[in-house]
Each structure stands twice: as structure tokens, then as C-alpha cells.
């Protein structure tokens, strides 16, 4: 099983890779790879990168450099990041002939969870020698576990271009999560709720110095009796928590199911936030609890507006708007059926809406699935220019 990672940003320098729709492959793969390296290191995974700037790496030098970091052992995972071209739609993962598809399937699942469809994950053989991999990055990194990740098509007709431009960090985070799960490393979201995630080599003293606090304060906040730490452990560093979470101290008789019911969240969400691999709890254990999986408010009614045109009558407008003349008159305080050109009428719709407040980890795709609607519908209703979301943002959701 790998325990070290080498990241390879595809192309670079004189080799720009694919170009289209304002996306240059070599630039985006570098951004993806730099983000991935930082996140993997945050999780305590030893990681290196073949290039951290816009330099040219010839194929032979590239694969040689890959194996200069940690050698040719099976304990090394090689991730080569690329952007596809050719007019398709969706992500692809290619894994080496010497490896199985477990990691690729985990990455595919995370892509889907983050709103990107997956064309396939597969192996490809060299036509001249079917015993060898088609791609040199897989072929010339013997014994390493090597994969190529194509995040989407920069010239696709679907939503790939928008995702690559606006959501590449979210897509990369999905790959990071898949890698962490595959390597059996506790996963946590970036800057998870203002907590500190213990990394290899950390001590309470080094963490305290880094975060301008004291060892005693960290021990008090986290109810620590000793100075021992474990990689992946979450530490509270101050008294405040982010608006979308609570902290809960496990009491005698508590179960995850009981706590989830108390806070109106799911057991799986609590386990995910706290990196729990089972349902066992201990008295005094601190849990991070999301305030709610569905922080929705009371239903509201959205009203449309209609501008009167020459020839319009209240009856025609009512039929067109799927309402009645009386409802329009009541909504607009009209005492007669007389209209004037350019007059603005408020038309109540039949559709009821709720408001949803975006929480950490949300995407339009995940919200659409929660409420049995579509991403396009959410974009249209909320007049969104991009698929980017921010924590605390309010979205209208059809009831």
C-alpha cells in the first residue's frame, strides 16, 4: 500500500498542452497540483511535485524525476493531472496495467459527488506491445502505483468548462479525499471549522507556537490529559466555532443515532466531520456537529412581474400566467379591468419556495440532489452567473 505521493502537473513550459475557452492545460494542471500537494500535506501525507512552476519537462526527464523522489517501490502513488480535449464531456481516470481499479473508482465517486460526471476509468494498452501501458507516465514508472486524472474537457459542450474554470479546487478536493481514504489516512475538509488537523511531526508546542496560543490552552479546550497526539486528530484552538457547527461532548448513554436526532443531522455527516470509522463513542469525547443538514426557512412565494403590451387584457394575461383575473386584480389592488401600456403587474406564481443556507462542503449538485431538483433549475431560479457557492449564501429551493 502506498504511503507517499508524487504529483505530476501535466505539460509545462514550451509544452502548453490543450488550449480552449480561456483555459491553458499547463497552467490549470499546475494550479490543481499545487492545491493537491498542500491539501495532502495538511492531512499528513508525504508529498512531492515534479514541477512547481512553468518549466518544460521532457517525457524521459519527467518520469525519471518522479522516481527520484521516493524510488521505484509499490509504496509510492503517482498522480499525473491533465485536462482533456476533443469535445467530450466528463472526467476520466486511467490506471496502470499492474494496478487494480480501487483508487480510480474512489476518485470517480468523488467526482460525481462534486457535480462532475465520469466518462470512464480504465486501462489502455500500447498497440505495438499489449503487455505495456499506452501512456508513458504509467509505462515508465515501474512498480509505482500510477494514475492519470483527466478533470474534464476544456472544449466540451456540457458543463465541463464552467467546472474547470470555477470549481477546479472542489474537483481536486474530491481527488484528495479519495486518495486519503485509499491510503487509510483520516480525512478532514480544508480549514475544517477553524480546527487544526495534526500532521506528522507535530507537537503541542509547535502547534501552539504556530497558532499564537499556549500548550495549556490547547489542552484545556480539547480536554487533553497528556501531550500525546495522533496524525489526523482535530484540535480546537479557540473558544469560537464557525456558524455552521457545534461542539458536543459525549455523555454516558449517548449513541451517534441519539446525537444525530438531537441535532437533526445524519449519523453519516457526524462520522464524516469527525473522521469516525465506526459508531463507537467514549464519554468525554468531543464531536463536531453541523448545525443542520437542511437549514431551511419557512416557505415563501415568489412573484413574477408582467409589463402590459398593446392589445393585452387581464383575461389574456391571466390565461398566459396560469392564474385568474380576480387574483391579478387582488394582487395589484385594481378596481377595474382597465390596463395601460407599460403598466407593471405582479403575478403570483403557484410555485412555493424555501430558502436554503449553504454550508461547508455544499455544491449545486449536492443541493439539487437533496431537494430533488436540478442544477440548471437552481441556477435559473437564483439568477446565478457561476456554479460557485459561498458558505452562508441563501438559495431559493422549489418546495
| pLDDT tens figures, 302-357 | 456 678 888 888 888 877 776 778 888 887 888 888 888 878 787 766 556 677 88
Give the residue from 306, 335, 310 showing the smallest Cα distance to 319.
306
As a whole number of angstroms, the distance between CA 374 and CA 254 comes to 38
Return the higher-pLDDT residue of 19 and 113. 19
- In the predicted model, what is the mean pLDDT of the chain? 84
The pLDDT value given to residue 295: 39
Q: Which residue has the higher pLDDT, 30 or 380?
A: 30
Domains defined along the chain, listed by start: 4-182 (3.40.630.40), 192-290 (3.10.350.10), 300-358+361-398 (3.10.350.10)
The end-to-end CA distance of the chain, in Å, is 47
Is the model's pLDDT at 296 over the cut of 60? no
Kindly tell me if the per-residue pLDDT of 201 is higher than 90.
no
Instruction: Report pLDDT for 364.
Output: 82
Q: Is 11 exposed, middle or buried (0-12, 13-18, 19+ CB in 10 A)?
A: buried
Cell 515508465: give the residue.
140
Which runs of E-coded beta strand occur in the chain?
4-9, 19-20, 23-24, 46-49, 76-84, 91-95, 118-122, 125-126, 129-133, 145-153, 196-197, 234-235, 245-249, 286-290, 300-307, 344-357, 394-398
Grid cell in block for residue 22: 480561456
- The stretch 156-185 carries a mean pLDDT of 91
Per-residue pLDDT of 353-389, as tens digits, reads 677 888 877 888 778 877 777 777 787 677 677 777 8
Q: Rounded mean pLDDT of 166-173? A: 90
Report pLDDT for 278.
81
Mean pLDDT of 3-15: 97
116-142 mean pLDDT: 96
pLDDT at 234 over 60: yes
Range among 96-105, 228-237, 369-378 rated most confident: 96-105
Predicted structure pTM score: 0.54
> Whose CA is closest to 91, among 148, 7, 133, 50?
148
Whether residue 151 has pLDDT greater than 50: yes
pLDDT (average), residues 222-248? 69
Strands 23-24 and 245-249: unpaired
What torsion, rounded to 10 degrees, do the Cα atoms 357, 361, 367, 371 define? Answer: -80
Q: Which residue has the cell 490543450?
A: 18
Mean pLDDT score, 291-302: 44
What is the per-residue pLDDT for 399?
64
Q: Which residue did the predictor score with more confidence, 93 or 222?
A: 93
Looking at per-residue pLDDT, the higher value among 376 and 155 belongs to 155
| Residue 219, burial from CB neighbour count under 10 angstroms (0-12, 13-18, 19+) | middle
**111/301: higher pLDDT:** 111
Instruction: Tell me which range, 45-54, 163-172, 387-396, is most confidently predicted by mean pLDDT.
Output: 45-54
CA distances, 96 to each of 51, 106, 133, 136 (Å): 22, 16, 7, 10
Segment 160-184 shows an average pLDDT of 92
More confident residue, 92 or 363: 92
Q: What is the pLDDT of residue 383?
A: 67
CA 241/CA 193 separation, integer angstroms:
7
**b (16+ CB within 10 A) / e for 351-386:** eebbebbbbbbbbbbebbeebeeebeebbebeeeee
Q: Which is higher by pLDDT, 36 or 303?
A: 36
Amino acid at each position: 500500500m502506498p504511503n507517499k505521493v508524487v504529483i505530476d502537473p501535466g505539460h509545462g513550459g514550451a509544452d502548453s498542452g490543450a488550449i480552449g475557452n480561456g483555459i491553458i492545460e499547463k497552467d490549470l494542471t499546475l494550479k490543481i497540483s499545487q492545491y493537491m500537494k498542500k491539501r495532502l500535506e495538511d492531512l499528513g501525507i508525504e508529498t512531492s511535485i515534479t514541477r512547481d512552476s512553468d518549466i518544460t519537462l521532457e517525457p524521459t526527464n519527467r518520469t525519471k524525476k518522479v522516481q527520484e523522489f521516493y524510488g521505484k517501490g509499490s509504496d509510492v502513488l503517482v498522480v499525473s493531472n491533465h485536462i482533456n480535449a476533443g469535445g467530450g464531456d466528463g472526467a476520466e481516470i486511467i490506471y496502470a496495467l499492474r494496478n487494480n481499479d480501487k483508487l480510480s473508482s474512489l476518485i470517480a465517486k468523488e467526482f460525481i459527488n462534486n457535480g462532475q460526471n465520469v466518462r470512464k476509468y480504465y486501462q489502455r494498452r500500447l498497440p505495438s506491445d499489449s503487455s505495456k501501458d499506452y501512456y508513458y507516465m504509467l509505462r515508465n514508472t515501474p512498480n509505482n502505483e500510477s494514475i492519470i486524472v483527466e478533470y474534464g474537457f476544456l472544449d466540451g459542450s456540457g458543463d465541463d468548462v464552467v467546472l474547470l474554470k470555477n470549481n477546479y479546487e472542489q474537483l481536486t478536493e474530491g481527488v484528495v479525499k479519495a486518495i486519503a481514504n485509499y491510503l487509510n489516512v483520516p480525512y478532514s475538509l480544508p480549514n475544517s471549522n477553524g480546527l487544526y488537523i495534526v500532521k506528522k511531526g507535530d507537537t503541542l508546542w509547535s502547534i501552539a507556537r504556530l497558532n499564537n496560543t499556549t500548550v495549556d490552552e490547547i489542552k484545556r479546550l480539547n480536554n487533553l490529559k497528556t501531550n500525546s497526539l495522533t496524525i489526523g486528530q482535530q484540535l480546537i484552538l479557540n473558544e469560537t466555532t464557525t456558524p455552521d457547527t457545534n461542539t458536543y461532548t459525549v455523555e454516558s448513554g449517548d449513541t451517534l443515532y441519539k446525537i444525530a436526532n438531537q441535532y437533526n443531522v445524519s449519523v453519516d455527516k457526524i462520522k464524516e466531520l469527525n473522521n469516525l470509522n465506526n459508531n463507537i463513542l467514549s464519554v468525554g469525547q468531543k464531536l463536531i456537529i453541523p448545525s443542520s443538514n437542511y437549514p431551511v426557512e419557512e416557505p415563501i412565494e415568489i412573484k413574477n412581474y408582467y409589463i402590459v403590451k398593446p392589445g393585452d387584457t387581464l383575461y389574456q394575461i391571466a390565461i398566459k400566467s396560469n392564474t385568474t383575473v380576480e387574483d391579478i386584480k387582488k394582487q395589484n389592488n385594481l378596481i377595474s379591468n382597465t390596463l395601460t401600456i407599460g403598466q407593471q403587474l405582479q403575478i403570483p406564481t403557484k410555485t412555493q419556495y424555501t430558502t436554503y443556507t449553504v454550508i461547508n462542503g455544499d455544491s449545486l449538485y449536492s443541493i439539487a440532489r437533496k431537494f430533488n431538483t436540478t442544477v440548471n433549475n437552481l441556477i435559473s431560479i437564483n439568477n446565478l452567473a457561476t456554479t460557485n457557492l459561498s458558505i452562508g449564501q441563501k438559495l431559493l429551493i422549489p418546495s
